[in-house]
Amino acid sequence: MHIGILTGGGDCPGLNAVVRAVTLNLLKHTRARITGIEKGFYGLIARKVRPLTEASVTQILHEGGSILGAHNSANPFRWSGAQGADVSGEVIAFARELGLDALVVIGGDGTMAIANRIHQMGLPVVGVPKTIDNDLMHTERTFGFDSAVAVVADSLQRLETTARSHDRVMILETMGRYAGWIALEGGIAGGAHAIVLPELPYDPETLANLCRQRQHDEGYTLICIAEGAKPKGGDMVIKEHLAHSPDPIRLGGVGDALRLQLQQRLDCEVRSMQLGHLQRGGSPTAFDCVLSTQFGWWAAEMVKQQAFGRMVVLQNNQCSSVPLNEVAGKIRHVPLDHPLVRTARSIGVSFGAEL
């Protein structure tokens, strides 16, 4: 077999651990040849590939980012480098020229949507779920998420000391796109007093009342808000539009918008901070190293079994797989009756609105 591996979309901790596990499994147990596709689908468009060997992947388990590089706007069905033209036929032709028997695609919902179409064109694909947002359908966990949550929790703990010292309201804005998983788990782990999710539009006055009460009782308030959150009757805060990206909307700035809403209602000082790409950089946590290795191992097993057109998932803490078309372009939101939401509410955490 000749197997290609690519990492699509944005980078995140754990990508190299997946590449390592897929490569080592196939090299040690089959006669497969492994080719790394550089910078996601861009490598298939621009013909940039390189061989992967045991020596080239052995030491990359704890390394952040992707040794193959990533590209979050290289959609072969709408390639920005060719004025939005469909170059998928050229991609398939290059794959055939390389002699690829299958492609292991590591990425999020946008990447899986592309992978599903590539599979339908005749190049067999195995998908591996990757996103710090933890918002892919049918999988309980995606690698990179735990690492992002750890950054959020640590940041909230650091913000708490300055909030307490100066009697401030401190707002931390997390990533997560249209789902609130990072804010939810990061907020709980970091001791936030309010967690604001995209799934539940917030009421500024409800949050102001919480801050007033805490100002009287404790002197400070920590708020963790997801970038996709919006006020009741309002819209998400959009930072920019990228026309040729699989996800053209770039969110950002809701933390500062909430700061302005609260500052006009409160007597104390309100500050906001946007974590941004700090959440997706650096080395993976031990949990993500283990999960990434599991996913890579399972993806290699699927290649051996020729279980193509499917994506690895974690269900009931066990690896399994589902058809790519059940994941492509879909988002897993936080259910408002989720046990973690109930847990947070039971210890007094506000969600900025009535549930």
Q: Are 102 and 308 in contact (CB under 8 A)?
A: yes
In this structure, the number of other CB atoms found within 10 A of the CB of residue 157 comes to 13
Question: 2-143+282-326 sits in which CATH class?
Answer: alpha beta
Task: Write out the residue limits of the CATH 3.40.50.450 domain(s) in the chain.
Answer: 2-143+282-326
Residue 14 labelled as part of a binding site: no
Residue 271 labelled as part of a binding site: yes
In this structure, the number of other CB atoms found within 10 A of the CB of residue 196 comes to 31
Task: Write out the residue limits of the CATH 3.40.50.460 domain(s) in the chain.
Answer: 149-279
In this structure, the number of other CB atoms found within 10 A of the CB of residue 316 comes to 6
Q: Is the pTM of this model over 0.85?
A: yes
Among 108, 117, 121, which Cα is nearest to 7's? 108
User: What is the fold, at CATH topology level, of the domain defined by 149-279?
Assistant: Rossmann fold (3.40.50)
Reported in sequence order, the residue ranges of 39-168 that DSSP labels E, i.e. its strands, are 49-52, 102-107, 125-129
Instruction: Note the pLDDT tens digit of each residue in 113-168.
Output: 999 999 999 999 999 999 999 999 999 999 999 999 999 999 999 999 999 999 99
Identify the three-state secondary structure at position 79: strand
Instruction: Note the pLDDT tens digit of each residue in 53-111.
Output: 999 999 999 999 999 998 878 899 988 777 778 999 999 999 999 999 999 999 998 89
Residue 280 labelled as part of a binding site: yes
Q: Are 123 and 3 in contact (CB under 8 A)?
A: no
Residue type, 296: G
Active site residues: 133
Among 99, 97, 74, 70, which Cα is nearest to 87's? 74
Residue 326 labelled as part of a binding site: no
CA–CA–CA angle 147, 259, 162 (5° rounding): 60
